[in-house]
Structure 1
Amino acid sequence: MTTPSDPSLNAIMSERSQLINLAYRLLGSLADAEDAVQETYTRWFAMSRREREAIESPGAWVTRVAGRVCLNLLDSARARRERYVGEWLPEPLPDRTEWISLPSGGATADPADRVTLDESVNMAFLVVLDSMTPAERVAFILHDVFRYPFAEVAEIVGRTPAACRQLASSARRRVRESRPSTTPASREAGIVRDFKRAWEARDIDALIGLLAPDATATGDGGGRASAELHPVEGAEHVARFFAVRAGAAPGLTILERTVNGRPGLVARQDGVTVTVYAFEVSGDRIRHIWAVRNPDKLRPWTAG
């Protein structure tokens, strides 16, 4: 029987935070990430003690298995998304440093234009990831974000290292094409704060002035909360949409919070978080607003 003093058990349990970080970026859902990691550990304990002892690197083993579990979940998620009511958005995360800045594993980094761990958790990045094929997403996250060499990525994806290199390259192009101009976090926070004030004042002109002409607002209610089934497009339409919402929800409190590592807003009704807003700012204008209202996706905001 394996005991807590078993070195292999200590090795795999010490990987849990790393696996959660990896699985969240692969799946865009903390709940699914936790399920994937649990399934990984279930497979470990399903092996005999002799099988476990034959594994030279338990930490590498759980990473490979978690990657494969996530890849399978991504494949099955496509069918689930077809039945999803309205727009689907990644699950927003509160400001928890272990979800953002956890050091990656020991694989070496190439001198490529890679994203950092904190950038890889922001909502804009996760939305781009969701447009990729499952294989592209897994190859890109493992190599470009978590620094795993393509030889190891190939074992997880089930393709050759050369094929994984091509997958990551394709994903990298998508990320590059979607990146807005860099706005310092302090400046972005000021723009989001100005948006909050204009929203609370129902000042349509001020809201329009803060939005890019082609700004888009996307809501995810999952059929369980009121949300637009399609994105609202254009600065004036987005401004009027938020102004109307401000008047339709008396007693709503809007708070400034960090959402997925970037300045965001949280709406609370009677002390309960009902919506989390993430923003993408380009220069001095807001390009995208993502509003998550699905109660299932707000669990991390209400559990603590």
Structure 2
Amino acid sequence: MDIHSEQAEPGRDETAARRHTIAGEQGPLINLAYRLLGSLADAEDAVQEGYARWYALSREQQDAIGSPGAWLSTVVSRVCLDLLGSARVRREHYVGEWLPEPVPDAMEWSGRRPSAPLDPADRITLDESVDMAFLVVLDSMTPAERVAFLLHDVFRYPFTEVAEIVGRTPGACRQLASSARRRVGDARPIAAQATRARVVRDFKRAWETQDIQALIELLDPSATATADGGGRVTASLTPIEGGAEIARYLVGLARQAGTLNLLERTVNGQAGLVATDRGKTVAVYAFEIAGDHIQRLWVVRNPLKLRVWMQR
């Protein structure tokens, strides 16, 4: 027996355990970053940057950090805050309307092999804080508002910690979160899950049969439809206003579509639709529903935002 190898073993075990613990933070970090940014691709970049900064520390510096998970969350939050600021500049050059990147429910896609590794979309916990309507409201906020609100109200950070991340006083962060909370409360629709699913199913049937009257009855008279093609595919560059106008537009699309197939799927935790053309995902539809009517329809067609849907 080699006594030196025996003595070294605990150190190796400790290092392996530490790496395993650090790797286990990836899921929570992806969840945090996606809600902060509304983009899965940007969330991945933010988390990778957080890990890069962790592994750039010396072993002594790492050992001095009592909670690596909390340290990573703080770093990733700061990275996200910076990305939100630069995103506003990038969107000045974005072609058409910008929408959050939709995420699927992995359990609904039967083609996935059980042994296949999880992709970032599968790590997203689907709850009300990823609802498309919620994310759209978040996107209307300032970066500081969004970060302060999400960190405190969704992830339960105390305002003292939020202040360190945002670079404001705890009192200022409390005001930011309060302002954001009012916006979210004013914008949240009221519809039970079963009602949402029924309305989306009726919408799908009416669209497939090109029944304009049925579509008009499902759409609120003041409904808005917003599409995101990113300049890469054909999509309306401005929102379409009015239920009757949206119905006519959709029927026109159906007549041109030919092989388009609509599937009922969960989009960001809510009933939605996925359009496929010869097996390839070409659009994802999310809805804001109040009562029995569709108030908002969001259509994501930008292929860069559909990558995780095309892999399924």
Match of 1:261 among 269, 282, 290: 269
Deviation at residue 8 of structure 1 after TM alignment: 4.0
Match of 1:155 among 151, 154, 164: 164
RMSD value, Cα: 1.3
Unaligned stretches of 5+ in structure 2? 1-10, 107-121
Match of 1:19 among 11, 29, 36: 29
Identity score, percent: 64
Whole-angstrom CA distance in 1 between matches of 2:59 and 2:181: 41
Q: Do 2:30 and 2:123's aligned partners in 1 also have CA atoms closer than 8 Å?
A: no
Larger relative helix fraction: 2
Q: Do 1:8 and 1:58's aligned partners in 2 also have CA atoms closer than 8 Å?
A: no
Whole-angstrom CA distance in 2 between matches of 1:50 and 1:10: 18
* Counterpart position of 1:270: 278
Answering whether residue 271 of structure 2 is matched by residue 246 of structure 1, we say no
Deviation at residue 98 of structure 1 after TM alignment: 4.1
Whole-angstrom CA distance in 2 between matches of 1:3 and 1:266: 48
* Counterpart position of 1:203: 211
Q: Do 1:4 and 1:10's aligned partners in 2 also have CA atoms closer than 8 Å?
A: no
* Counterpart position of 1:28: 38
Counting matched residue pairs gives: 286
Task: Give the TM-score normalised by the residue count of structure 1.
Answer: 0.91
User: Within 5 A, what are the aligned runs for 1:1-304?
Assistant: 5-6=14-15, 7-96=17-106, 98-100=123-125, 118-180=127-189, 182-304=190-312
Structure (1 or 2) with the larger CA radius of gyration: 2
3-state SS of 2:238 partner: coil
Deviation at residue 5 of structure 1 after TM alignment: 3.9
Whole-angstrom CA distance in 2 between matches of 1:198 and 1:144: 39
- Regions of 4+ moved over 2 Å: 2-12
Deviation at residue 10 of structure 1 after TM alignment: 3.2
Whole-angstrom CA distance in 2 between matches of 1:4 and 1:36: 29
Q: Deviations over 1:187-211 (max 9, x none)?
A: 1111101001110111111100000
Whole-angstrom CA distance in 2 between matches of 1:75 and 1:216: 27
Deviation at residue 4 of structure 1 after TM alignment: 7.2
Whole-angstrom CA distance in 2 between matches of 1:10 and 1:194: 47
Deviation at residue 179 of structure 1 after TM alignment: 1.2
Q: Do 2:260 and 2:277's aligned partners in 1 also have CA atoms closer than 8 Å?
A: yes
Unaligned stretches of 5+ in structure 1? 102-117
Deviation at residue 3 of structure 1 after TM alignment: 6.1
* Counterpart position of 1:109: none
Q: Deviations over 1:225-280 (max 9, x none)?
A: 11000000001100001000000010110111000000000000010000000001
3-state SS of 1:56 partner: coil
